Chain A
């Protein structure tokens, strides 16, 4: 299986603030990356840059061996899906309409949605525990339900690369667990990769195979989870003291 996304010497800034410089990064199928860093370090901007929604200053991003900048938006959307941190509902859609938007890059002007597309939408609606809500408008749902609709939309998109910006937001612990497992399972079966910007170091340790830590001044360190996670590394990342808890072979870190 070939590399899905390759980043070479990437330099990225927003509003004059350097997010990364000289970043080399390869995302392979089946990998699950956690992007970690303090508030405002640029996790969201980096994710958006990976699907061509943020201008880059320097370097090269290639998607399946093709330069990202030369690809059409539709072609990018077939291969990369991005879950935004926020969504707005000025003109609210129903759950089914919203989820069907994930199929948009796979439709063409003349063909439109096929029965197959509706089947996929129905499957992910069930997988995200939203059965029976298909015809409700999104603005009548709770924060957690909306998050699951957004995740269902991304799953319906069936990309090679999932970029998830704080997927755990608004979800209670049970749904966090169930939904993370569903997303990871679908990514695995479709030979896709996941990149998640996470605030919760423990979710990252538990679900990810690799970590990219964004540090002050545009520095970044990366590697497999087991070699990246140490008390010293995490305290340096967040700039605060952490307590390490170990039970039944599971490790968790808490800020106290």
Chain B
């Protein structure tokens, strides 16, 4: 028994997840209102083909694919870190109220009649505000004890939920549809994500540096401290990182459910609990899954677009249940 089998296995698994993400991306570029052949797609990607099809693929579909990948990766990574931080397999990126704060601020900007340009900054600001609120309340007790943090976050999230319902109740009928779509998650944004992608890569790199300590932390706070981990510091970094990733994801795509909760569990079921694999694999599988879901969302009932959150659940629920059954002891 030596280190090689595990390290080797991790590398193979990671390659498979990468392959999945690449295949999902190619499929997403190919499929749509004007379907194109693989051959044409290949020519477009190599720059040998210009014209309408090339514009559709490179200017419309590609930004959307990248946005879906970044949002999915952010959510899955954030969900993974939240589950560790809160010692709760049911935790997801939204459990601490970050998305609630973002939603309230975004809806307020809609109601105030601000232009769509302000949606993203408003959402990000709201997310940061909510994060600061949970942070402050937890800090007052001077401890990052998971149960207390979870309760604080859940109650604040419930508070935001009430505010959202209130805002929906008092807003006009024509504003309502846009609001509900935003709340369900929306990838219609045409720009290529820039700083969001950077944040995903940076967050992934930081998390990967802490992967071994995170592995130890899964044994419990006191136990991890006994193994030499500075638990309070690690939990603080996990909280800030997970919240920031969620805030970015919500700003980019609204509240897309399910990815952040289930992707980490899928990988645990497929290939175990080593975070040196879980962290990069979460990003790849979360990103790939959201690309796939978004492709279905815009093609299933075309030309009508479905909210992507509905499709992530439609794809994710059976897939997850299958993995769970297969691993049944």
Contacts and interface: CB of A to CB of B under 8 A. Distances in A.
Same complex: yes
A134 B1 contact: yes
A81 interface: yes
Interface stretch (B97-105, B128-136, B217-225): B217-225
Contacts of A105: 227-228
State the majority secondary structure of interface residues on B: loop
B212 A104 contact: yes
A92 interface: yes
B230 A72 contact: yes
Given A109-B209, A118-B1, A93 B219 contact: yes
A115 interface: yes
B215 interface: yes
Contact of B229 (A73, A93, A109, A118): A73
B1 A101 contact: no
Interface residues of B, number: 30
A113 B7 CA distance: 11
Contact of B215 (A82, A97, A140, A157): A97
Interface of A: 48, 51, 53, 72-78, 81-82, 84, 87-88, 90-94, 96-98, 101-102, 104-105, 107, 109, 112-113, 115, 118, 122, 134, 140, 157
Contact of B222 (A53, A74, A112): A53
B220 A53 contact: no
Contact of B227 (A72, A101, A122): A101
Contacts of A112: 212
A84 B212 contact: no
B209 to A, nearest CB: 7
A106 B226 CA distance: 13
A112 B226 CA distance: 18
A107 to B, nearest CB: 7
Contacts of B1: 96, 118, 122, 134
Most buried by B among A87, A101, A157: A101
Contact of B223 (A75, A87, A109): A87
